[in-house]
């Protein structure tokens, strides 16, 4: 019992290092950050955060331990150490909101650039053109491709199917057959016409 009484009677040691090591996270709002130094002051220093002396310590800690863009803005304010905590919090909140707006603008800009890149690729501008199937075209011109790839119809190298001599012969044969059919049909029509009158 005596030992417990002694422990309760002696004041707790103050740990300034732990109290002042709190830093603002990048995506943490200024108001959420302010709660953490207040809690650390209460926990490690044993002081009331609403006390006038502690209020000055909290102001210094809030300004110096804020994220760099917020810290820069707060330190540019004239007489920031004499201002109310609410004013500093309001200024920090403005910087935080502006940062969020810039993130949204950056995201929108990236989306626009991505859409423009897709449109460029689909429209086939310059060297970015893609062949069938969406694959990058190799740098071969038509003559080189003729020498490498053979004809699908006859299998010979040096020409494509549309230029194949066998296809030309087939087309010629088909056209002759259709021409002879047309002549027969015309001839029979002419015969009918001459017989009917």
Tens digit of each residue's pLDDT (9 = 90 or more) over 133-151:
555 555 556 666 666 677 7
- Looking at residues 122-130, what average pLDDT do you find? 60
Predicted pLDDT of residue 133: 57
Predicted pLDDT of residue 161: 74
pLDDT tens per residue, range 10-60: 556 677 777 778 888 888 999 999 999 889 888 888 888 888 888 888 888
Read off the pTM. 0.48
Q: How far apart are CA 117 and CA 106, in angstroms?
A: 16
Q: Examine the pLDDT at 193 and tell me if it is beyond 50.
A: no
- Indicate the class that CATH gives domain 2-116: mainly alpha
Angle of CA points 92, 94, 95, to nearest 5°: 65
Predicted pLDDT of residue 112: 92
pLDDT tens per residue, range 58-103: 888 889 899 899 989 998 988 888 888 899 999 999 999 998 888 8
Q: Examine the pLDDT at 191 and tell me if it is beyond 60.
A: no
């Amino acid at each position: 019992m005596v030992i417990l009484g002694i422990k309760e009677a002696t004041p707790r040691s103050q740990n300034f290092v732990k109290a002042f090591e709190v830093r603002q996270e990048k995506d943490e709002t200024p108001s959420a950050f302010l709660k953490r130094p207040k809690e650390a002051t209460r926990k490690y220093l044993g002081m009331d955060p609403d006390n006038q002396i502690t209020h000055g310590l909290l102001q210094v800690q809030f300004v110096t331990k804020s994220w760099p863009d917020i810290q820069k803005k707060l330190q540019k304010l004239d007489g920031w150490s004499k201002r109310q905590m609410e004013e500093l919090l309001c200024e920090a909140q403005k910087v935080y909101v502006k940062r969020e707006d810039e993130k949204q603008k950056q995201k929108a800009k990236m989306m626009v650039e991505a859409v423009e890149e897709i449109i460029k690729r689909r429209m086939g501008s310059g060297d970015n053109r893609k062949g069938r199937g969406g694959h990058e075209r190799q740098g071969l011109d038509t003559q080189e491709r003729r020498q490498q790839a053979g004809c699908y119809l006859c299998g010979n190298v040096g020409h494509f199917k549309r230029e194949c001599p066998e296809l030309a012969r087939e087309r010629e044969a088909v056209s002759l057959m259709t021409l002879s059919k047309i002549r027969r049909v015309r001839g029979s029509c002419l015969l009918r016409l001459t017989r009917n009158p």
